């Protein structure tokens, strides 16, 4: 399926749309994230609450005792690759969190059609990515498990309104899932995002970022794109 196409049905199920505020779309189920295929849509947001099991696991997690995770995997190998990567990074056994990450990775792969994806799970404590931007990837999926969520703005709406002041900043909540089109899909972005500024606080964030695994000739560019 071409990335510019909008499927009327995905995997035999009707894709339901809850609220459309172009270029951002808010949906109520993970399969509807695929509305990102709409030519005019640059962001799909799945508003959700984390499960009680995930919340319980996160409540006992000490962020200072785990390392960041960055690895690429075939989606079919996630059941073994993901637990191994988390164990190596110092995470205790967190089956509910692991299952949630794997589910989001599969949703991402279903949208892009890529069999191989790259997963980054990191603790954020700085303002390294506080500028609004669009990433040099086709599609980026972001969710925040702990701390403040990713912030985003609508570029087109701001420009059309002729506003000279600050744009309206919107923010994903904890557990919300955002699929952001990157510059390799949408050359002129209509949605920009950034990490929320937390450098002057003691705040920490646990953030998951999922990208298509880069080809060798794209690797240098994509590895520089670490903002969420």
Q: What is the pLDDT of residue 148?
A: 94
Residue with tokens 């701390």: 147
Confidence (pLDDT) at 103: 96
Q: Of the CATH numbers 2.60.120, 3.40.630, 3.30.420, 2.40.10, which one belongs to the domain with range 14-223?
A: 2.60.120
- Phi then psi dihedrals of residue 186, to 5 deg: -125, 100
| CA atoms of 119 and 97, how far apart (whole Å) | 14
* Model pLDDT for residues 6-55, shown as the tens digit of each residue: 333 333 333 444 444 478 999 999 999 999 999 999 999 999 999 999 99
- As a three-state string, the secondary structure of the chain is CCCCCCCCEECCEECCCCEEECCEEEECCHHHHHHHHCCCCCEEEECCCCCHHHHHHHHCCCHHHCCCEEEEEEHHHHHHHHHHHHHHCCCCCCHHHHHHHHHHHHHHHHHHCCCEEEEEEEEECCCCCCCCECCCCCEEEEEEEECCCCEEEEHHHHHHHCCCCCCCCEECCCCCEEEEECCCCCCCCCEEEECCCCCCCCCCEEEEEEEECCCHHHHHHHHCCCCC
Rounded-to-integer distance, Cα 126 and Cα 79, Å: 31
* pTM of the predicted model as reported, rounded to 2 decimal places: 0.84
pLDDT for position 210: 97
- pLDDT at position 153, please? 93
Contacting residues for 50 by C-beta, under 8 A, at least 6 apart: 58, 100, 145, 174, 175
The confidence band for 159, taking pLDDT boundaries of 50, 70 and 90, is low
- How confident is the model over 100-122, as pLDDT tens digits? 999 999 999 999 998 899 999 99
CA 210 – CA 104 distance, rounded (Å): 8
Beta bridge partners of 123: 206
Share of the chain above pLDDT 70, in %: 81
d(CA 224, CA 172): 23
**Highest mean pLDDT: which of 21-35, 44-58, 162-176, 186-200?**
44-58
| Residue 98 burial (C-beta neighbours within 10 Å; 0-12, 13-18, 19+) | buried
């Amino acid at each position: 399926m071409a990335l510019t196409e909008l499927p009327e049905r995905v995997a035999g199920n009707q894709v339901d749309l809850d609220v459309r505020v172009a270029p951002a779309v808010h949906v109520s189920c993970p399969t509807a994230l695929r509305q990102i295929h709409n030519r005019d849509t640059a962001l799909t947001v799945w508003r959700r609450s984390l499960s009680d099991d995930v919340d319980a696991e996160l409540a006992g997690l000490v962020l200072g005792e785990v390392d960041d995770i960055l690895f690429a995997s075939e989606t079919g190998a996630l059941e073994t690759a993901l637990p191994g990567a988390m164990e190596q990074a110092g995470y205790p056994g967190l089956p509910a969190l692991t299952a949630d990450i794997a589910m989001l990775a599969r949703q991402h792969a279903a949208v892009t059609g890529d069999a191989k994806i790259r997963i980054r799970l990191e603790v954020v404590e700085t303002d390294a990515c506080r500028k609004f931007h669009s990433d040099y990837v086709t599609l980026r999926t972001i969710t925040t498990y702990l701390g403040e969520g990713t912030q985003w703005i609508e570029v087109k709406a701001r420009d059309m309104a002729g506003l000279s002041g600050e744009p309206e900043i919107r923010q994903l909540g904890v557990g919300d899932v955002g699929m952001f089109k990157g510059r390799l899909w949408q050359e002129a972005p209509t949605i920009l995002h950034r990490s929320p500024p937390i450098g002057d606080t003691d705040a920490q964030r646990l953030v998951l970022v999922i990208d298509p695994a880069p080809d060798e000739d794209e690797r240098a560019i994509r590895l520089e794109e670490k903002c969420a």
